Structure 1
Amino acid sequence: MTSSDAHVYDSPAERVSEHIQRYVETGGEEGHDWNGVPTLLLTTKGRKSGKLRRTALIYGRSGASYVVVASLGGAPTHPAWYLNLQENPEVALQVGPEDLTAIARTANDDEKPALWRMMAEIWPAYDEYQTKTDRAIPVVVLDPVPA
């Protein structure tokens, strides 16, 4: 997805940006565990700018895949990272010390209920977020690409 010298733009939210920097600087030693839940760093290619955009997200596992929720705290619109991966599904992940490439896809109607329950067990606020918005909050499956 990226060349190692490409500039990556971190989330404009200060608390998220600080979390990302700690995560990167420590190779995941700090930041992988955030408030008792696991987080990964997701880098997408901007659908309009073409710039690499990175954010930190809570994740779960389903087999070899990583699972994240495009909640944006229950906002009425999808987060930018979700819109980016819809346009360009090849993404970069940092999970703890591991860097990998993955292909992102939105969970289908058959798999979403079980994945949603799994993610709501990890972060119960997801259920509350869904009540705050009329949009169906997407669950995203990140399938690692073999090295």
Structure 2
Amino acid sequence: MTNPFNLRVIEEFRANGGKVGDMFDGIPLLLLTTKGIRSGLPRTTPLVYLADAGRLLVFAANGGAPKAPAWYGNLMAAGEGEVEVGAERYAVRPELVAEEEHERLWTLQTEQDANFANFRGRTDRTIPVVSLVRATTRGGGTAVHRRAWPYSI
């Protein structure tokens, strides 16, 4: 179940074409919808992202908690999800970014959002960096889903 804070962010994001104010003003934000591993139900999570070399990158930091966030486990288990960026919505598949790139990407992310500066120091685990790759159809076109999930949050 989505917590009240995330529900407010999701509603504001969708009502304003991907823009969210207050603490997210000026911070790139996307919505990632995955299917729950156990429930099979859709789970939508607002995530700060980094755009780099045409990629949308998200960090499974979970605020530096010892465990990765639920969205990460759901996304990797399903091998697919749906992303909303601005007013665009499309299917994605996750690709883990090689650890050799982590330091450069982490530096870019902390420059963009200072909150990330402390996350690695709070945990012993390597924080996965995931590229959300636009899914394509067999004909090479983009798979755009207006309603990929049976439920909407």
TM-score w.r.t. length of structure 2: 0.81
Distance 1:86 1:32 in 2: 30
Distance 1:106 1:48 in 2: 22
SS at match of 2:99: coil
Residue of structure 2 aligned with 1:31, choices 15, 20, 30: 20
* Percent of residue pairs bearing the same amino acid type: 35
Bigger shift: residues 30-39 or 130-139: 30-39
SS at match of 2:120: helix
Distance 2:83 2:70 in 1: 16
Relative to its length, the structure with more strand (as a share) is 1
- Offset of 1:119 from its aligned partner? 1.3
SS at match of 1:110: helix
Distance 1:15 1:120 in 2: 23
- 1:10-25 equivalences under 5 Å are 12-25=2-15
The one-letter code of the counterpart of 1:113 is E
- Offset of 1:96 from its aligned partner? 0.6
Distance 2:54 2:134 in 1: 7
Give the match for residue 7 of structure 1.
none
Structure 1: gaps (5+ residues): 1-10
Question: Which protein has the larger Cα radius of gyration, Structure 1 or Structure 2?
Answer: 2
Give the match for residue 42 of structure 1.
32
Alpha-carbon spacing, 1:124–1:78, altered in 2? closer, same or farther (3 Å):
same
Residue of structure 1 aligned with 2:70, choices 70, 75, 80: 80
The one-letter code of the counterpart of 2:20 is G
Structure 2: gaps (5+ residues): 137-141, 143-153
